[in-house]
Structure 1
Amino acid sequence: MDEVLTEAGIKTVLTGIRMPQMNSILERWVQSCRHELLDRRLIWNERHLRHALREYERFYNRHLAHQALSQAAPPRPAPDPITGPGRIIDLNIRRRDRLAGVLHETSHAA
């Protein structure tokens, strides 16, 4: 099988030993990518697919809140909860669309 894959230009990557959760983590990422990106976007060619996957990877790793991290994105901690009703009224949220509106990034305006 390795020879067939090598002839097709596919590099075989071995997974870690005794890492039973690796498959489930990858399946979750693929499922998220399909539901949030590929099911909502018409892909024209390989170059367009690579661009869309690169953008989704950035969005997933830098902005998307993860349940395992208490709704925080990987590079930053979860924000403190807003408890006062006066602070909720004064929130200024900005939305940035990525991939022609398929992905939405929100942030507090300075």
Structure 2
Amino acid sequence: MDVIRIPPQAPTANAFAERWVGTVRRECTNRMLIAGERHLASVLTKYTEHYNGHRPHRSLGQRPPNPPPQVVDLNAARVRRRPILGGLINEYSQAA
């Protein structure tokens, strides 16, 4: 692996990082008031867990990168909603 230097002032030079930053801004930080650096770190940690564990991704066939281990038949199961980030995002799972 080689280190490639990104030219300064080139926003499209690192498309993966720019896509991540854009997604976080659109879905999370633009919709809430961040009170400080510690609050921002907490919000980004929770959003990253949601992004990698529950949020569907188009390139993966609407599955999350780290899906839960069990597959549930949603026609026969009750669904439970869990609010994330104070209700900004909701995650759904099978109710016990």
TM-score, normalising length: structure 1: 0.66
Q: Matches of residues 89-108 of structure 1 in structure 2 within 5 Å?
A: 90-108=76-94
Q: 2:67 aligns with which of 76, 93, 104?
A: 76
CA distance in 2, matches of 1:57, 1:100: 15
Q: How many Å separate the matches in 1 of 2:43 and 2:50? A: 11
- Residue 64 (str. 1) matches residue 64 (str. 2): no
1:16 Cα deviation after fit:
4.4
Please list every run of 5 or more consecutive structure 2 residues that lacks an aligned counterpart in the other structure.
5-12
Paired residue type of 2:30: D
Q: Which runs of 4+ in 1 moved over 2 A?
A: none
Identity %: 40
The aligned counterpart of 1:3 is none
1:18-45 deviations in Å (ceiling 9; x for gaps): xxxx822222211110011111110011
2:60 maps to a residue whose letter is: L
Measured on the aligned residues, the alpha-carbon RMSD in Å equals: 2.7
- In 2, distance between residues paired with 1:71 and 1:48? 30
Question: Which structure 1 residue ranges, 5 or more long, are not aligned?
Answer: 1-14
Given the alignment of the two structures, is residue 25 of structure 1 paired with residue 16 of structure 2, yes or no? yes
Query: What is the alpha-carbon distance in structure 2 between the residues aligned to residue 24 and residue 93 of structure 1?
Result: 36
Which of 46, 57, 64 in structure 2 is aligned with 1:55?
A: 46
Instruction: Mark the CA change 1:55 to 1:70 in structure 2 (over 3 Å): closer, same or farther.
Output: same
Number of equivalences: 86
- Pairing of 1:4-15 with structure 2 (within 5 A): none
Say whether 1:42 aligns with 2:42.
Answer: no
The TM-score normalised by the length of structure 2 is 0.74
Higher helix share: 1
